[in-house]
Structure 1
Amino acid sequence: MTMADGTIRAAGCVLWRRGPVDGQLEIALVHRPKYDDWSHPKGKLKRGEDALTGAQREVLEETGMECEPGAVLPTAHYMAGVRPKEVRYWAAEATEGSFEPNREVDRLLWLPPTAARARLTQDRDRPLVDALLRALPADVGGDATYV
């Protein structure tokens, strides 16, 4: 969706889970073949869609995962070509589902925070990992020890 001033509105989540083997914090990153990049699941809002609903929809479409949204994370502002883009983010715990490659996203990785920060293609996405760690309770792995 586009705002009256031409800003592209989008939303997404920093999706996390406890690892199935060791219970440690893992962050989901998606690979988009169109851009050949690794990012957090996100996408443009539909007309009249509120940002949180759009963020959850995008997570489901791109990862196959249902999620439970949590803390509001920093909003990203950047230029998408010649137009400004605003992406609102939430921390969200993956609750159920399974990934199937699709036209938009061909790969999904679950990585520890340090590896997720390193794998992200855009520098602007890295502070979202840090914001997630600050937002999560210590018993889940939240704090700055990974940074």
Structure 2
Amino acid sequence: MTPRGQAPVRAAGCVLWRRSRDGGLEICLVHRPRYDDWSYPKGKLKRGETPLEAALREVLEETGHHCVPGAALPTARYTVNGRPKVVSYWAAEATDGAFVPGDEVDRLAWLSPAAAHNRLTRPGDRIQLTAFLNTVPTT
């Protein structure tokens, strides 16, 4: 419980990535029309679900891609509508899949790390990108 007595909202997500044809990195960001923001695929945990299970489920639901989880990334902690929120993150390499726009996520972009850094709506989300870039495989 938090000092205010409210249990934090628990969520999880991934910095989803893939290699471009030329071997460079591409980072997946999703656009959520409800908030008109660009962020990583993420969402709230369901009852009985671990954070990693939730992160992988959210990636599939929001991007249509399966992925292989990698290193844990820094946890985000912030307040939404006066309630604390804790979001666990992992690096995850995209394997197969295809994006289909929906009500929750209407656009998806595969961007270079620099472009992803600039497109992220919430400046705090850049912490996970920086941590990811320090752990990403070089080959």
Normalising by the smaller structure, the TM-score range is over 0.9
Unaligned runs of 5+ in 1: 140-147
| 1:86-126 deviations in Å (ceiling 9; x for gaps) | 00000000000000001100000000100000000000101
CA drift of 1:5 comes to 4.1
Q: Does 1:74 align with 2:74?
A: yes
- Corresponding position of 1:97: 97
TM-score, normalisation: structure 1: 0.90
Query: What is the CA RMSD across the aligned residues, in angstroms?
Result: 1.5
1:142 aligned partner:
none
**Equivalent position of 2:134 in the other structure:** 134
Match of 2:43 in 1: 43
Partner of 1:9: 10
4+ aligned runs moved over 3 Å, structure 1: 2-5
2:57 counterpart residue number: 57
Displacement of 1:48 after TM fit? 1.2
**Corresponding pairs, count:** 137
What code does the residue aligned with 2:32 have? R
Normalised by the length of structure 2, the TM-score is 0.95
Report the Cα offset of residue 136 of structure 1: 1.0
Gaps of 5+ in 2: none
Residues 29 and 109, structure 2, Cα contact 8 Å, conserved in 1: yes
Once the 2 structures are TM-superposed, how far is the Cα of residue 127 of structure 1 from its aligned partner? Answer: 1.3
Identity of aligned residues (%): 62
2: distance between equivalents of 1:137 and 1:11?
22
